[in-house]
């Protein structure tokens, strides 16, 4: 059995793919949040951060391609595993009980798919800057600050000025956090890194991470909606 056979064909190999890609995506989500929090510091900081990223296209594109591969593999393994899971129980129970499982753990596929839709929108909204999706009638690509850089600060303020969009973002992030509250602890289990002694710690860390992500990501649309940032 070569490594590809084992990774892509066996049930556990697919779980390893899901765990490793999931871990990589979590690292990105954390980094993305830390970078974006510079918005709270002010126009100068976030625009400088954006400028920095765009002056390093090799880094930017390596990250983008890497993320794309991770997302594709993550979703592929999710679909493959879910299909097998569905086939494993063709007839369900008349009385359904959770049997001690958490809501997050039972809804991973659904939360994952919604988050995926959210990400697609997010990319169209802020990365591709398709005017059709931002509901402001403006083209974000034309926003330039006083130093001739892309004015990311204004884009965010404008982007979240529509409450519906801000709320959609918050729901998306909420689902992402729900997904990760189970996913992070689960990835340790899938990679065999969760022992009985560390399990409570890992579970706790996953919950803390989920809460931190909510606070961090929500602070941006909330600061716009409440008028703190304009």
Q: Which spans of this chain sit near other proteins (rule: CB under 8 A)?
A: 1, 3, 6, 10-16, 81, 84-102, 105-106, 108, 182, 185-186, 188-196, 199
Residue 227: count other Cβ atoms within 10 Å of its Cβ.
7
Residue 144, SS3 per DSSP? strand
Give least dist CB 33 to other proteins, A: 25
Give least dist CB 12 to other proteins, A: 5
Give least dist CB 117 to other proteins, A: 21
Closer to other proteins by Cβ: residue 99 or 226: 99
Closer to other proteins by Cβ: residue 43 or 194: 194
Residue with tokens 């703190």: 228
Give least dist CB 94 to other proteins, A: 6
- End-to-end Cα spacing for the chain: 59
Closer to other proteins by Cβ: residue 133 or 205: 205
Question: What are the residue ranges of helices labelled H in the chain?
Answer: 3-9, 11-36, 38-41, 43-54, 57-88, 103-106, 108-122, 152-159, 163-190, 199-225
Closer to other proteins by Cβ: residue 93 or 132: 93
């Amino acid at each position: 059995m070569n490594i590809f056979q084992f990774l892509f064909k066996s049930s556990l190999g697919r779980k390893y793919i899901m765990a490793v890609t999931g871990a990589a995506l979590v690292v990105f989500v954390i980094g993305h949040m830390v970078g974006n929090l510079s918005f709270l510091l002010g126009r100068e900081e976030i625009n400088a951060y954006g400028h920095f990223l765009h002056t390093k296209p090799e880094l930017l594109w390596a990250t983008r391609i890497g993320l794309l591969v991770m997302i594709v593999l993550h979703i592929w393994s999710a679909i493959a595993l879910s299909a097998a899971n569905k086939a494993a129980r063709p007839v369900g129970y008349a009385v359904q009980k959770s049997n001690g499982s958490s809501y997050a753990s039972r809804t991973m596929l659904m939360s994952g798919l919604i988050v995926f839709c959210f990400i697609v929108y997010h990319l169209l909204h802020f990365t591709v800057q398709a005017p059709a999706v931002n509901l402001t009638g403006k083209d974000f690509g034309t926003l330039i600050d006083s130093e001739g850089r892309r004015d990311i600060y204004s884009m965010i303020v404008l982007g979240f000025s529509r409450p519906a969009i801000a709320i959609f973002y918050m729901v998306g992030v909420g689902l992402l956090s729900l997904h990760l509250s189970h996913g992070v602890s689960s990835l340790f289990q899938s990679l065999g890194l969760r022992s009985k002694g560390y399990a409570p710690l890992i579970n706790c860390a996953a919950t803390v991470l989920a809460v931190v992500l909510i606070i961090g990501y929500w602070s941006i649309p909330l600061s716009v909606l409440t008028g703190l940032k304009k």
